[in-house]
A = this chain, B = another copy of it.
Amino acid sequence: MKKIGFVGLGIMGKPMAKNLLKAGYEVTVYDIRPEPIAELVAAGAKAAKSPGDAAAGAEVVITMLPNSPHVKEAILGKGGVIEGVKPGTIVVDMSSIAPSASQEISARLEPKGVPMLDAPVSGGEPKAVDATLAIMVGGPEETFKEVKDILSVMGASVTHVGAIGSGNVTKLANQIIVALNIAAVSEALVLATKAGVSPERVFEAIKGGLAGSTVMNAKVPMILAGNFKPGFRIELHIKDLMNAMDTAHELGVPIPLSAQVLEMMQALKTDGKASNDHSGLVQFYEGLARIQVRR
């Protein structure tokens, strides 16, 4: 079994690294905070003093960090992964970042004989714990094959979607659709509620038809209950939509509806709601219409 270096032990990274330990892998971990390192060491991991230290001796280095700048710093910065790797080490960044950042980092690793995959996940903390994440992977097919077993330890589905950056493009497509589907349900239910129709009856009447969606089934019960406990926080969806905007601008693809939902989420952030579940987007509409969608 391959030796693994794991950098980033946050809400997602910690349970993912634990699942690798449970599967029997030798894992060397690093985080900027000492607490999660200690927790992982208690679970059988070795502690590293830097990302580069976690990479030294590892055959596969996994990074799981908040956004593009953190990944660039951890891989390319002082004491970074790039200082510990040797030719043949595989770097798998599982963070959700800008596709262009994945490509930049890969271009810096390639001359060192270090192939890279971008492998962002969807599913959130519960699926990280249960090892049922959906993992979308970009990068060379042969590199993908070498680490597929390792990724399968953390996810229920592991899909190779294309060249480096493609994993994050797929993740952005996913996040655009989820954001707009939440907005769709919000716009419709606030209108129906203000028209005096029970939003619950509307939900029951339409969920089996063409308007049905996983977002509708997962989020409308939360909206009807006024329960915006995350789940997936608005501030994280803002990050993803910012990366989608940057990518769209680089490519010359207008994404006007995503831009508008991003602004709605920004307005909620200003209103102190950044830590609510993204289904709390309905509160933007509720505020405008002076009504609440409730059971």
Contact = CB atoms under 8 A, between A and B. Distances in A.
Interface stretch (A30-38, A42-50, A81-89, A195-203): A195-203
A211 B288 contact: no
Nearest to A173: B188
B188 A174 contact: yes
A68 interface: no
A63 interface: no
B170 A191 contact: no
A111 interface: no
B170 A177 contact: no
A261 B260 CA distance: 12
Given A215-B210, A257-B260, A188 B184 contact: no
Contacts of A262: none
Interface in A245-293: 247-248, 251-258, 260-261, 285, 288-291
**Which one of A166, A187, A210, A291 has the highest number of Cβ atoms from chain B below 10 Å of its Cβ?**
A210
A290 B254 CA distance: 11
Interface stretch (A7-15, A139-147, A155-163, A222-230): A155-163
Nearest to A195: B169
Given A162-B198, A169-B197, A210 B251 contact: no
A205 B255 contact: no
Contacts of A256: 187, 260
A202 B173 contact: yes
A260 B184 CA distance: 12
Given A192-B173, A252-B194, A211 B214 contact: yes
A209 B178 CA distance: 10
A66 B86 CA distance: 70
A122 interface: yes
A80 interface: no
**Which one of A189, A195, A251 has the highest number of Cβ atoms from chain B below 10 Å of its Cβ?**
A195
Closest 5 CB pairs of A and B: A213-B213, A180-B184, A173-B188, A177-B211, A159-B205
15 contacts: A134-B209, A159-B205, A166-B196, A166-B197, A169-B192, A169-B197, A170-B201, A172-B188, A173-B192, A174-B209, A177-B213, A180-B180, A180-B187, A191-B251, A195-B251
